[in-house]
Structure 1
Amino acid sequence: MSEENQTQNGQAPSFGLQRTYVKDLSLEMPNAPEIFLEQEGPTVEVSIQVGGQRLAESVFESSVTATVTTRIGDKVLYLIELTQAGIFEAANIPAEQLDPLLGIVCPTMLYPYLRANVADAITRTSLPPLHLSEMNFQALYEQRLAQQQSGAPEQGEDSGLILPPGARN
């Protein structure tokens, strides 16, 4: 093995997805069944947050949370919040590469599962599924870093993208 592929302790870096799971799922339809009579098309708001934590020396949990609020006029058609999580092994990764790995690569691997689970949950309401658009987690990561460096206050733990009311996905 080349020297650049080994860390200081001589071990080769390793990375792998161990497990994916739905950590949290909430679906509300507060105005059903009356809202089904509305003729107007819905507007959609989507918020994405990325999180994670160290579970052991080389084991990490990464999570992606989507909050989708769909309205017709001022009434909520449905509100869904889903957290897709995964357990990753990341051993012998240089410290400067670990944060981007956990902030970009892990969420990118989890996002297709999240998209499928959101669409499935909405389909079970008898409504057409909502297919979330692709997400650039590298841009999201860089945006969060820029906010941290500029000293801009972050909105709680939200490191995600918020689409304005009326934006379609």
Structure 2
Amino acid sequence: MAEEQNEIPAAAAEQPATGARFQLQKLYVKDVSFEVPGAPQVFQEEGAAEIKLNLAQRVNNVGEGLYEVVLSVTVTATSKDKTAYLAEVHQAGLFGINGLEEAQLQAALNTLCPHSLFPYAARTITGLVADGGFPPLVLQPINFDHVYQQRLQEAQMQQAAGDIEAGNA
């Protein structure tokens, strides 16, 4: 068999690639918490707990084209108006993003980044709940595109309402 060699001219190797770049550079848990305020009595109660999921996100620009995105996932389980457990994780990632216009950058930070982080946060929450002695909890996938579009629409409606109020003043 003949060996095949692909040589790249030195000048071409030194030229930066053009176009958009999206890269998850580091994944980490920034903070985690699990509380069972009513233990051990909570384990003696009958019936299923009501589960509430709360999501939040924070974006920090940490350098040229480098962003830390922190997805906070909080699960609160209540039974008979008492908190059975509270599980919270702040899943973070460092994302290298270049070559995008501002609107595209904001969309990537608010959709692609949390979409990348959510499975890790969900796995951590699931483990905390199971290790806490509660029945398995499976968090359903989140459509971050839809969440982002809703936030954009709400911001536009608030801006329009503010413009109307400013016009009446």
Bucket of the pairwise TM-score, normalised by the shorter protein: 0.7 to 0.9
Task: State the match for 2:142 in structure 1.
Answer: 135
Pick from 4, 23, 26: which aligns with 1:16? 23
Q: TM-score, normalised by structure 1?
A: 0.80
- 1:147 equivalenced with 2:154 (yes/no): yes
- 1:81 equivalenced with 2:91 (yes/no): no
* Bigger share in helix: 2
Matches within 5 A, 1:37-48: 37-48=44-55
Q: How far, CA to CA, are the matches of 2:106 and 2:24 in structure 1?
A: 16
CA RMSD of aligned residues (A): 1.6
Task: State the match for 2:100 in structure 1.
Answer: 93
Q: How far, CA to CA, are the matches of 1:29 and 1:70 in structure 2?
A: 10
Give CA deviations for 1:131-162 in whole Å, capped at 9, x if unaligned. 1111000010011111111117xxxxxxxxxx
Give CA deviations for 1:52-98 in whole Å, capped at 9, x if unaligned. 11110110011211111101111111011111111000122222210
Q: TM-score, normalised by structure 2?
A: 0.80
Sequence identity (%): 33
Higher RCO (C-alpha 8 Å, min separation 6): 1
Matches within 5 A, 1:115-130: 115-130=122-137
How many aligned positions are there?
144
Q: How far, CA to CA, are the matches of 1:74 and 1:67 in structure 2?
A: 18
Structure 2 SS opposite 1:20: strand
Structure 1 SS opposite 2:128: helix
Pick from 96, 117, 121: which aligns with 1:114? 121
- Measured after TM superposition, the shift of residue 128 of structure 1 is 2.2
Instruction: List runs of 5+ in structure 2 lacking aligned partners.
Output: 1-15, 160-169
Structure 1 SS opposite 2:30: strand
